Amino acid sequence: MTGSISLDQIAGITAFVDVEAPPPEETPTALMLFGTNQPAPVKIAAERYHAGLVPLIIATGGVNRHNGIIEGQVFQRLLLEHDVPERVIRCEDKSANTWQNVEYALPFLDEALRSGLAITGVSKWYHCRTVRILKTLLPEIGSFYAVTWEPVYAGNLVTRTDWPSIPDGKRRVIREWEEVTRRVADGRLAATQRTDGAWR
C-alpha cells in the first residue's frame, strides 16, 4: 500500500494486526517468547514468573540479522539474570524467522500442552503472524493467548496510535497486514479468531 492512508484504513489495519489477548488473571500459562533483539519480552516473562503465573518459558530465536546476537541464548541469559530459574526455561536458538521460532520450539510447546498449560505468545503488538503460525503448526493448541509489547525503531516507540506517523513503524505494520492477509487467503496460514479474550 502506497500513499496516504485514511483514518478508517488505519483503524482497520490496527485492529487486524493487534494480537493482544492476555490470559485470564491468576491463570498460569506457558510463555513463548518470539525472537527479537529487543529486551521487552524478558521483562514481561520475568514479571509474570515472579507473580507465579509462568511455570514454563520458551525462549526462541537464532542469529539476529541486524546485530549477530543469538536471540534465544540472550533471552535465556537475561532471564537467569532476572532470577528466573534454569529449570523453567527452554531455549530454541537455531531459528531464522517467525515460522521457525514455532517449528523448532514444537517439542517445548508439546511439553507445555502435555502439562495441561495453555500457551501465551509474547510478541510485538502488531506481529499478527505469530498467532496464525502457532495455530498452523500446532493445530491442537486449543485456546491460546498473546501478551504484547511496543518495539522501538530508530529511537521511536511504535505504538498502536503512532505507527502511521513513524516511517519504520508504518512500513512494518503495513507489511505485516498485507503479508498475513495474503497468506491466510491462500491457505499458507491458518485463520484464527479472537473470541472471548482468547485466540482459537
- Report the alpha-carbon distance of residue 199 to residue 22 in Å, rounded: 10
| Residue 181 cell numbers, joined | 492477509
Buried/exposed 156-169: b ≥16 CB within 10 Å, e otherwise: eebebeebbebeeb
- Report the alpha-carbon distance of residue 4 to residue 101 in Å, rounded: 34
Residue 54: per-residue pLDDT: 97
Residue 3: per-residue pLDDT: 58
- Report the alpha-carbon distance of residue 103 to residue 133 in Å, rounded: 9
Residue 136: per-residue pLDDT: 98
Residue 5: per-residue pLDDT: 79
The verdict on pTM exceeding 0.75 is yes
What does each of the 200 residues of the chain score in pLDDT, given as a tens digit? 545 778 889 999 999 999 999 999 999 999 999 999 999 999 999 999 999 999 999 999 999 988 889 999 999 999 999 999 999 999 999 999 999 999 999 999 999 999 999 999 999 999 999 999 999 999 999 999 999 999 999 999 999 999 999 999 999 999 999 999 999 999 999 999 999 999 99
Three-state DSSP class for 175?
helix
Residue 2: per-residue pLDDT: 46
| C-alpha pair distances (Å), 149 with each of 22, 31, 39, 92 | 12, 14, 10, 21
